């Protein structure tokens, strides 16, 4: 049997360019930078800047009803062709209570409004989402595959007018994985790093700027955990989650990898292995090794095992949706401090 062909994805930007903004959108996806960029494109296509004071309503699904969002959408625009209504955190809306009103609006939307329901991730199993899919108003920005990511980085670099060589693209993908937001931020930082006049970004630049920065952030966080300095722990964690724009699951993966490396290094130290063998066993670059050994000497194997157990529990919390991502990571670092 021949392999099943992957269904081609509709380019929402091409549809927007060809047809203009449609009346309703449900927009979600783990790639928040792509979500934000598309929301901005829809805003710019819907209402000109001079008309936004009277024709741009913003809500949060945490504190508003479906009916209130639709009421705003039914308001006629003032001195503008369209009205724009944006509801962020739309996955928090009570669509069970507002389902009938939503379905009725979906069938007969206002021709003078553009309504955006924006979420981190809608539940595709719900009647609301299935109806939106059938109406072809859903746009989901998923992470690219590992195979697709180099092309994504090259396209981003071209759009930002940044020259990146092939090895640097590969090094950047190795450093950030399939996180488009992290890749975009890294390209911005690398552009500043190479300076003016801009030269081609190399793999060495990526190693010096992106990889080192990520390692340093995790080392600083673990140092703060080991010292029991709550203020430094919270500053380090929120620096990674907020300033560095790391997704909680990706941050958890980095912490987990670091604790696994600490466990390997601690066991190797206890076994009396020389530095060269420990480095080969752990598989980290030379610039990481000194800090890793220093931290490993300050932790015993039992404490590291408790830390890994806390990481596993946090992974369940995040994937099961039991806790908000930031809250789950905060609880983890306090558990690590206690271990």
What is residue 102's three-state secondary structure?
helix
Q: Can you give the pLDDT at residue 215?
A: 63
Q: Which two tokens stand for residue 259?
A: 């604790």
Model's pTM, two decimal places? 0.61
Distance from C-alpha of 166 to C-alpha of 202, rounded to nearest angstrom:
8
CA 108, 110, 113 angle in degrees (round to 5)?
A: 145
DSSP calls for 70-94 = HHHHTSPPSSSS-EEEEEESGGGS-
DSSP calls for 20-57 = ---SEEEEE-S-HHHHHHHHHHHHHHHS-GGGHHHHEE
Q: Which two tokens stand for residue 51?
A: 């008309």
Q: Which of 55, 63, 64, 60 is nearest to 83 (CA)?
A: 55
Q: Can you give the pLDDT at residue 238?
A: 77
Q: Can you give the pLDDT at residue 1?
A: 40
Q: Can you give the pLDDT at residue 3?
A: 42
Q: Which residues of the chain have pLDDT under 70?
A: 1-9, 197, 211-216, 227, 242-247, 285, 287, 322
For the packed helices 301-320 and 248-270, what is the interaxial angle rounded to 10 degrees? Answer: 160
Per-residue pLDDT tens for 176-216? 778 888 788 889 888 888 887 678 999 888 877 776 566 66
Q: Which residues touch 307 (CB under 8 Å, ≥6 apart)?
A: 259, 299, 335, 336, 339
Q: Give Dmax (Cα) for the chain.
A: 78
Q: Which two tokens stand for residue 138?
A: 């859903």
Interstrand relation of 138-140 and 56-60 (parallel, antiparallel or unpaired): unpaired
Q: Can you give the pLDDT at residue 287?
A: 65
Q: Do 332 and 252 contact (CB within 8 A), yes or no?
A: yes
């Amino acid at each position: 049997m021949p392999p099943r062909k992957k269904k081609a994805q509709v380019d929402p930007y091409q549809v927007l360019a060809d047809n203009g903004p449609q009346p309703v959108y449900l927009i979600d996806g783990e790639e928040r930078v792509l979500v934000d960029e598309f929301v901005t494109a829809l805003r710019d296509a819907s209402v000109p800047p001079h008309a936004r004071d009277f024709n741009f309503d913003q809500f949060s699904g945490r504190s508003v009803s479906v009916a209130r969002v639709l009421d705003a959408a039914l308001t006629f625009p003032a001195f503008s062709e369209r009205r724009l209504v944006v509801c962020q955190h739309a996955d928090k809306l009570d669509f069970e209570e507002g389902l009938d009103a939503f379905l009725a609006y979906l069938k007969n939307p206002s021709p003078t409004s553009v309504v955006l329901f924006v979420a981190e991730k809608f539940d595709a199993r719900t009647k609301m989402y299935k109806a939106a899919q059938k109406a072809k108003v859903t746009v989901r920005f998923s992470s690219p595959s590992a195979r697709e990511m180099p092309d994504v980085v090259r396209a981003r670099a071209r759009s930002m007018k940044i020259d990146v060589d092939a090895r640097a693209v590969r090094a950047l993908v190795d450093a950030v994985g399939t996180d488009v937001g992290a890749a975009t931020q890294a390209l911005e930082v690398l552009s500043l790093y190479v300076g003016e006049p801009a030269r081609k970004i190399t793999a060495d630049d990526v190693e010096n700027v992106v990889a080192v920065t990520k390692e340093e952030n995790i080392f600083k966080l673990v140092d703060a955990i080991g010292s029991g300095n709550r203020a430094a722990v919270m500053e380090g964690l929120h620096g990674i989650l907020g300033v560095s724009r790391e997704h909680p699951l990706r941050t958890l993966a980095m912490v987990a990898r670091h604790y696994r490396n600490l466990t390997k290094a601690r066991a190797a130290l206890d076994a009396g292995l020389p530095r060269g063998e420990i480095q080969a066993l752990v598989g980290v670059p030379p610039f990481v090794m000194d800090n890793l050994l220093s931290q490993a000497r300050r932790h015993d194997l039992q404490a590291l095992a408790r830390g890994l157990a806390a990481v596993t529990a946090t992974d369940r919390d995040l994937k099961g949706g039991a806790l908000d991502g930031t809250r789950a990571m905060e609880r983890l670092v306090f558990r690590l401090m206690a271990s």
